[in-house]
Amino acid sequence: MELSSLLPALSPRRALPLSFPTAYYDIKVGGGAKAVKGSRVAVHYVAKWKGITFMTSRQGLGVTGGTPYGFDVGNSERGNVLKGLDLGVEGMKVGGQRLVIVPPELAYGKKGVQEIPPNATIELDVELLSIKQSPFGSPVKIVEG
């Protein structure tokens, strides 16, 4: 089942930040630790444009699938993570699943990338698997969903 097909039944939880029209929908609220700026997180994601998957961390060999994607929340200015993914993960709890609607300015912008055209809005289906660090750099217990 496509997550975007659930949108009429769901209300967006919030817009991120107020100057951008990014919205997210919590499909499943996790019960673990909360991702905040500075947290080192591991996620699985599926990126879609017009319902077609163009990138995912879930593909891979074996039963467990692909390798989770890790990044530091709030660090998208360095260019190693899509700003829409970064903003969309903030506030999630471990074990949660979220659909993030990412506008062009928080995705690939006016240039686009490969098969994604300029000014494209994309969808990210994100599952927060673990948080490995507190926002202040001190270790915390790794919590799996």
The pLDDT tens digits of the residues spanning 37-92 come to: 999 999 999 999 999 999 999 876 555 668 899 999 988 877 788 999 999 999 99
The pLDDT tens digits of the residues spanning 87-124 come to: 999 999 999 999 999 999 999 999 999 889 999 999 99
The boundaries of the domain holding residue 38 are 3-131
Note whether residue 138 is domain-resident.
no
Put simply, whether the predicted model's pTM sits higher than 0.85 gets the answer: no
Closest CA to 102 of 119, 82, 123: 123
Whether the CB-CB separation of 119 and 113 falls below 8 Å is answered with no
Q: Is 115 helix (H, G, I), strand (E, B) or coil?
A: coil
Note whether residue 33 is domain-resident.
yes
Q: What is the CATH number of the domain that holds 74?
A: 3.10.50.40
Note whether residue 139 is domain-resident.
no
Could you write out the DSSP letters of every residue in 18-45? TTS-EEEEEEE---SPBP-TT-EEEEEE
